C-alpha cells in the first residue's frame, strides 16, 4: 500500500503544534522507521495515518484514499487493511488469546463472525494458523493478560495477520519489553512484514534496531522531516542534529546507551 | 546565631467561622424540633418496651400451622426479585451505554439518559409499587415492575461508571482495525466490564430480595402480604414465623451472592 503524506500539519486544540509540515512518500513494500526525540511528532503522525487524529493542514493519502476527507465508512474500510502494533499491545486482557486473534476480523466480517463461539470453521482454523505463525498455538485458550509482554505482542501480530493487513503502523513495539524479548519481537515483526510484502511504518527509540531493520529511516524534528535516507547514511552528524546534541559532547552520548550502540553500528556499516 | 523569639504553637481551638455556626445552629434546631415533634419521652419508651415484651410473649413459640403457605409466598418473593432484577439488568445495559461519557452517541442523549436513571433511583421502590398496584392491580406483577425500576436506577448508574473507567487502549486497537462502534463496545468494552457487572447485579439481587419482602405490605405480592395480614389479625405466632423465614432466606441469599462474587472477581 502506498502512503503519501504532503504538507501535513497538526495543531491540537490546546495550541500545541505537534506537526508543522511533513512530506513523506512511502512506496508499497517499504520498511520505514520513524526516529526523533520525544515530542517531535512521531506518534502524532502515526495517529494521523490511522485517522485517529485529524490533520489540521495538508493531506494524507493511503492507497488513493484521502483519509482527512473520506467518509467514515471509507475510513473504516481502509483501516481493515491497516494493522496496528502498540507499545502496550492493546489486547482485551480478560478474553482468551484465540478470541483476541479472531478480533482481527471484526472490521471486515462483523461481530458475530469474529466471536469464538459463532465464528465459521474456516476463520477458526485461520486463527490457529496465525497463532502457529507467531509460535503461540499452544496458548490459544489462555487468558491474554496471563501472558508475558513479548507473548502479548506476538498475539497482537497474530491479530494483524488475521486482519490480512497490507500496511503496518507500529508505535514503539518494543518499548515495554526487555532487550531479549524486544529482539525476538522485532525479528518476528520484520520476518512477517517481508514474507507478506507488507508496507511498514515503525516508530522506534532504539537506534540499533532502526539501523538493523529499516530499509529507510525518516527522522522528525520539530514537526518536520529532518532526515530521510537509508540507514547507512545515518552517521553521527545526522544523529547529533536529530537529537539536538553538541557534536563532540561525550556526556550526552553516554547518557543514552542506545545511541552509542547505534553510533558504533552506524560507523561500522558506513 | 541571632536569638529569634520562639514561635508560639497555634491555638488549641480555632474560632468557628460564621458558616460553622449557622450549620451547627440549624442542625441543633432541627434535632430538637424532631424530638418534640415525634413526642419522644421516657414514659412512652418504657411502655413501648413492655408492649414489645407482650408481642414476643404471645409470638413465641412461632406457629408452624401455615408453614406451607408461608413457604410458597416466600418463593413468590424470590421469584419477583429474580425476574425483576433480570429484566432490570438487561435494560440497564443499553441505558448505561447511553449514560457513559465514552460510549454515549451524543452529549444531549447522555444528559437525558442520566436524568432518567436519576429519577428512577430517587423514587423509592415502595412508591413505584404503589403506582404499579394502581396500574396493573394487586399481585406480584406490580412488585416485579417496581423492582425493575429500582434495579435500573441502581445498575445503570454503576454500570456506566464502570464503563467510564475502562482502559481505552484495547478499544483503540479494535477501531484502528476498522471495527464499527457497536463492535468495539461488544468486543473490547463489555468484556472488560463483565466481572464488575456481575458483582453489581448480585448486589442488586440482595437489594431486590429485601425490598420484595417489603413490597408485599402495599399489596404488590409476596410474603409481605402474609406478614401484614398476620399482624392485622393479631396472629403474632404466625408473624414471627414469617419474620424468621425472611431472616433465613435473606441471609442465605446474601451468602450465596457473596460466594459467587468472590469467584467472579
B191, three cell numbers: 468484556
- Model confidence at A249, pLDDT cuts 50, 70, 90, reads very low
pLDDT beyond 50 at A5 = yes
Partners of A48 on chain B (C-beta within 8 Å) are none
pLDDT the model gives residue A242: 82
Mutation target for A interface from B162, B166, B177: give the one with most A CBs within 10 A.
B177
Mean pLDDT of B175-202: 92
Query: Residues 215..254 of B with a Cβ closer than 8 Å to A: which?
Result: none
How many pairs of residues across A and B have Cβ atoms under 8 Å apart?
75
Mean pLDDT of B54-73: 86
Count other C-beta atoms under 10 Å from residue A267's C-beta: 10
**pLDDT tens per residue, range A36-68:** 888 788 888 988 888 888 888 999 999 888 888
Mean pLDDT of B14-36: 91
pLDDT beyond 90 at B26 = yes
Q: Do A111 and B186 touch (CB under 8 A)?
A: yes
Q: Which of A221, A229, A190 is nearest to A20 (CA)?
A: A221
pLDDT beyond 60 at A265 = no
Q: What is the mean pLDDT of chain A?
A: 86
Mean pLDDT of B189-213: 92
The CA-atom distances, in angstroms, between A95 and each of A115, A125, B166 are 11, 18, 15
pLDDT beyond 50 at B50 = yes
pLDDT the model gives residue A252: 42
- Model confidence at B156, pLDDT cuts 50, 70, 90, reads very high
pLDDT the model gives residue A92: 93
Q: Where are the alpha helices (DSSP H) in chain A?
A: 42-50, 72-80, 97-102, 106-109, 121-133, 149-163, 179-195, 207-213, 236-242, 250-255, 257-269
A159 touches chain B (CB under 8 A): yes
CA distance A227 to B141: 73
The three state secondary structure string of chain B is CCCCCCCCCCCCCCCCCHHHHHHHHHHHHHHHHHHHHCCCCHHHHHHHHHHHHHHHHHHCCCCCCCHHHHHHHHHHHHHHHHHHHHHHHHHHHHHHHHHCCCCCCCHHHHHHHHHHHHHHHHCCHHHHHHHHHHHHCCCHHHHHHHHHHHHHHHHHHHHHHHHHCCCHHHHHHHHHCCCCHHHHHHHHHHHHHHHHHHHHHHHHHHHHHHHHHHHHHHCCCCHHHHHHHHHHCCCHHHHHHHHHHHHHHHHHHHHHHHHHHHHHC
pLDDT beyond 70 at A266 = no
Count other C-beta atoms under 10 Å from residue B126's C-beta: 16
Mean pLDDT of B178-201: 92
pLDDT the model gives residue A244: 78
pLDDT beyond 80 at A255 = no
A220 vs B1 pLDDT, higher one: A220
Mean pLDDT of A223-241: 84
pLDDT the model gives residue B95: 95
CB distance B220 to B147 below 8 Å:
no
A113: closest chain B residue by CA: B183
pLDDT the model gives residue B222: 85
**pLDDT tens per residue, range B206-253:** 999 999 988 988 888 889 888 998 889 988 899 999 999 999 999 999
ipTM above 0.85, yes or no: no
pLDDT the model gives residue B158: 96
- Model confidence at B36, pLDDT cuts 50, 70, 90, reads confident
CB distance B117 to B92 below 8 Å:
no
Mean pLDDT of B114-137: 93
CB distance A38 to A64 below 8 Å:
no
Mean pLDDT of B66-83: 91
Q: What is the mean pLDDT of chain B?
A: 91
A63 touches chain B (CB under 8 A): no
Q: Which of B211, B208, B210 is nearest to B200 (CA)?
A: B208
Residues 6+ apart with CB under 8 A from A63: A1, A2, A78, A81, A166, A167
- Model confidence at B150, pLDDT cuts 50, 70, 90, reads very high
Q: Do A80 and B186 touch (CB under 8 A)?
A: no
B177 touches chain A (CB under 8 A): yes
CB distance A240 to A35 below 8 Å:
no
CB distance B185 to B103 below 8 Å:
yes
End-to-end CA distance of chain B: 63
Q: Do A84 and B192 touch (CB under 8 A)?
A: no
Residues 6+ apart with CB under 8 A from A33: A202, A203, A204, A209, A210, A213, A214, A216, A217, A218, A231
Cα B12 from chain centroid (whole Å): 43
Mean pLDDT of A144-156: 93
Mean pLDDT of A114-138: 93
A160: closest chain B residue by CA: B177
pLDDT the model gives residue B120: 94
B75, three cell numbers: 418463593
pLDDT the model gives residue B3: 61
pLDDT the model gives residue A258: 54
- Model confidence at A133, pLDDT cuts 50, 70, 90, reads very high
Mean pLDDT of B19-46: 90
CA distance B246 to B206: 12
CA distance A217 to A199: 14
Candidate from A76, A86, A111 with C-beta closest to B173: A86
Alpha carbon dihedral B211, B212, B216, B220, in 10-degree steps, equals 110
B190: closest chain A residue by CA: A92
Amino acid at each position: 500500500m502506498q502512503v503519501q503524506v504532503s504538507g501535513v500539519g497538526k495543531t491540537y486544540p490546546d495550541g500545541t503544534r505537534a506537526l508543522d509540515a511533513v512530506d513523506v512518500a512511502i512506496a508499497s513494500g517499504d520498511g520505514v522507521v520513524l526516529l526523533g526525540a520525544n515530542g517531535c511528532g512521531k506518534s502524532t503522525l502515526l495517529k494521523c495515518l490511522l485517522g485517529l487524529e485529524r490533520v489540521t493542514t495538508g493531506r494524507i493519502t493511503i492507497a488513493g484514499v484521502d483519509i482527512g476527507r473520506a467518509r467514515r465508512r471509507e475510513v473504516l474500510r481502509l483501516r481493515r487493511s491497516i494493522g496496528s502494533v502498540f507499545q502496550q499491545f492493546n489486547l482485551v486482557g480478560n478474553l482468551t488469546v484465540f478470541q483476541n486473534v479472531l478480533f482481527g476480523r471484526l472490521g471486515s466480517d462483523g461481530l458475530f463472525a469474529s466471536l469464538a463461539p459463532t465464528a465459521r470453521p474456516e476463520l477458526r482454523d485461520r486463527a490457529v494458523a496465525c497463532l502457529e505463525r507467531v509460535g503461540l498455538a499452544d496458548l490459544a485458550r489462555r487468558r491474554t493478560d496471563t501472558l508475558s509482554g513479548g507473548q502479548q505482542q506476538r498475539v497482537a501480530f497474530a491479530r494483524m495477520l488475521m486482519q490480512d493487513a497490507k500496511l503496518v503502523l507500529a508505535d514503539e513495539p518494543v518499548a515495554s519489553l526487555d532487550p531479549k524479548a524486544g529482539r525476538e519481537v522485532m525479528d518476528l515483526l520484520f520476518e512477517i512484514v517481508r514474507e507478506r510484502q507488507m508496507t511498514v511504518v515503525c516508530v522506534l527509540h532504539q537506534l540499533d534496531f532502526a539501523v538493523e531493520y529499516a530499509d529507510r529511516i525518516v527522522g522528525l524534528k520539530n514537526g518536520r522531516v529532518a532526515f530521510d535516507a537509508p540507514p547507512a547514511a545515518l552517521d553521527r552528524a545526522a544523529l547529533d542534529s536529530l537529537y539536538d546534541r553538541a557534536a563532540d559532547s561525550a556526556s550526552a552520548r553516554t547518557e543514552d546507551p542506545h545511541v552509542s550502540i547505534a553510533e558504533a553500528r552506524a560507523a561500522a556499516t558506513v | 546565631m541571632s536569638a529569634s523569639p520562639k514561635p508560639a504553637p497555634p491555638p488549641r481551638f480555632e474560632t468557628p467561622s460564621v458558616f460553622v455556626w449557622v450549620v451547627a445552629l440549624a442542625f441543633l434546631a432541627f434535632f430538637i424540633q424532631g424530638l418534640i415533634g415525634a413526642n419522644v419521652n421516657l414514659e412512652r419508651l418504657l411502655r413501648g418496651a413492655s408492649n414489645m415484651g407482650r408481642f414476643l410473649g404471645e409470638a413465641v413459640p412461632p406457629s408452624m400451622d401455615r408453614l406451607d403457605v408461608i413457604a410458597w409466598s416466600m418463593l413468590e418473593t424470590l421469584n419477583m426479585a429474580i425476574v425483576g432484577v433480570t429484566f432490570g439488568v438487561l435494560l440497564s445495559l443499553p441505558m448505561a451505554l447511553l449514560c457513559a461519557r465514552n460510549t454515549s452517541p451524543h452529549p444531549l442523549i447522555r444528559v437525558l439518559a442520566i436524568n432518567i436513571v436519576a429519577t428512577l433511583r430517587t423514587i423509592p421502590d415502595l412508591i413505584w409499587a404503589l403506582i404499579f398496584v394502581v396500574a396493573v392491580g394487586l399481585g406480584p406483577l406490580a412488585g416485579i415492575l417496581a423492582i425493575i425500576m429500582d434495579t435500573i436506577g441502581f445498575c445503570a448508574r454503576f454500570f456506566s461508571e464502570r464503563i467510564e473507567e475502562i482502559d481505552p487502549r484495547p478499544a483503540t486497537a479494535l477501531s484502528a482495525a476498522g471495527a464499527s462502534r457497536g463492535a468495539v463496545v461488544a468486543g473490547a468494552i463489555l468484556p472488560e466490564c463483565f466481572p464488575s457487572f456481575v458483582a453489581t447485579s448480585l448486589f442488586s439481587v440482595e437489594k431486590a430480595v429485601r425490598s420484595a419482602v417489603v413490597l408485599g405490605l402495599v399489596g404488590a405480592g409476596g410474603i409481605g402480604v402474609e406478614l401484614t395480614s398476620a399482624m392485622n389479625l393479631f396472629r403474632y405466632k404466625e408473624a414471627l414465623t414469617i419474620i424468621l423465614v425472611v431472616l433465613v432466606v435473606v441471609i442465605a441469599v446474601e451468602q450465596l451472592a457473596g460466594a459467587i462474587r468472590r469467584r467472579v472477581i
